[in-house]
Structure 1
């Protein structure tokens, strides 16, 4: 069974995306990334991406992660904060810990494409 089904399919992904964006847009260190962004459109892309990444039937047809994030100057700390908010969201939705770990493992390789600003020494 795919992780997508384990967490409850499309309704669970929708709930997770909505809660996740409430967390990231409410985080002062991340909120600036979302100023002027069409959140409804972004949430749609995120639902499709997460669904596909977790083994859902619908595929993701958006831009690749590098292209989508290239102009944002995202740091490792920003990436870690976003992943932390996602893990917190999934835990709040009673997703089992081993499933959250699988999702985290699937996201880890994306760091190289998403992080574009080196850490300040």
Structure 2
């Protein structure tokens, strides 16, 4: 399956917005993760996340947010927190109708960013 077909397969922007909404519901309900977002403009973050997931899925969107390392610098994100976020994204994808193989492909793209996101 090509990257360009993933965005269309999952249902385009509306589907990505549903996934991201579900994803943040999960993240913000987790006591481990919620503190990372305490002083975050969630509306802006939601828009960036929709853009990011759309771009990773091969949609007609270019991600124009800060690079991952700059965006997460100084946040002290742990490997455990990163892994939990990836699990929630995977669950949100699958529970919103994205096939397991497609969800795995998207998570593979996200996993490749771990070194840029996790604080050392």
Q: Give TM class, smaller chain.
A: over 0.9
What is aligned with 2:6?
3
What is aligned with 1:45?
48
Which consecutive aligned stretches of 4+ in structure 1 deviate over 6 angstroms post-superposition? none
Could you state the TM-score of these two structures normalised by the residue count of structure 2? 0.94
Task: Give aligned pairs, total.
Answer: 117
What is aligned with 1:79?
82
1:92 corresponds to which of 92, 95, 114:
95
Summarize deviations over 1:58-79 as a string: whole Å, max 9, x none: 2111100000001110011000
Could you state the TM-score of these two structures normalised by the residue count of structure 1? 0.93
Gaps of at least 5 residues in structure 2 are: none
Root-mean-square deviation over aligned CA pairs? 0.9
* Secondary structure of the structure 2 residue equivalent to 1:60: coil
Summarize deviations over 1:64-121 as a string: whole Å, max 9, x none: 000000111001100000000011111111211110111111111100100014xxxx
